[in-house]
Amino acid sequence: MGARFREDISRVLQSDPAATSRLFVALFWPGLHAVWAHRLAHWLWTRQWKLLAHIVAYFSRALTGIEIHPGARIGRRLFIDHGSGVVIGETAIVGDDVTIYHGVTLGGVSSTRSQRHPTVENDVVFGAGAKVLGNIRIGSGSRIGANAVVVKDVAPERVVVGIPGRAIERHNGGHAYPDLQHDQLPDVVESQLRNILQRLDWLEFQTSIDLEEIPEPEYYL
């Protein structure tokens, strides 16, 4: 357990330049406190002590502003930066080395008692305000842009932007993890409009014929 605590603190020191010491992080990082509280709540939940699990989760939310359902399965070294407004639903599955900024929702869109929340693979970054909804899978190494709304599966190594979210393949392979450059997002609409305009220019060039050179049609009775 002590090794896991040290691992969590090291992740914060690695990912957040505002973190200056292990003691400072352990005392004042709400994202870290939320993760630790969730481990206790999930331990109680899996042993069917669900009332106690909800009590722990409730006080954790009141203290940190981060709501993680006790049933959610969270991997190692989850880093929640700032964290206010983060919501992780009951059946969500989060892999290792995931980064979540404030206002992110991993939510469900069904009332059935089944897998209704996202599954997140390793090394995924969620920008501030991103909403990931439903029983979908976010591939490893992907970056979800700020305020993107994701309702479909995302393949590994993609950047997702827009409402609804559009997944764009990365072209900078070999990037380091954690990849915190969630401000570097493509403008999908601009790219599509540019492609359309280029296509129109090409078509106009191909059809630029002098109409006076076209002979008059011959009519037959």
Q: What tokens were used for 135?
A: 């029983």
DSSP per-residue codes, 177-192:
SS---TT----HHHHH
pLDDT band at 221 (very low <50, low <70, confident <90, very high): very low
Distance in angstroms (rounded) separating the CA atoms of residues 58 and 191? 45
3-state secondary structure 128-150: CCCEEECCCEECCCCEECCCCEE
Domain boundaries, the chain: 2-184
On the CB side of 69, CA atoms within 13 Å amount to 16
pLDDT band at 167 (very low <50, low <70, confident <90, very high): confident
Contact yes or no for 83/102 (Cβ under 8 A): yes
User: pTM to 2 decimals?
Assistant: 0.78
Contact yes or no for 161/136 (Cβ under 8 A): no
Contact yes or no for 156/171 (Cβ under 8 A): no
pLDDT of residue 189: 64
Looking at every residue in the chain, the average pLDDT score rounds to 85
Q: Which CATH number fits domain 2-184: 3.40.50.150, 2.40.10.170, 2.160.10.10, 2.60.120.260?
A: 2.160.10.10
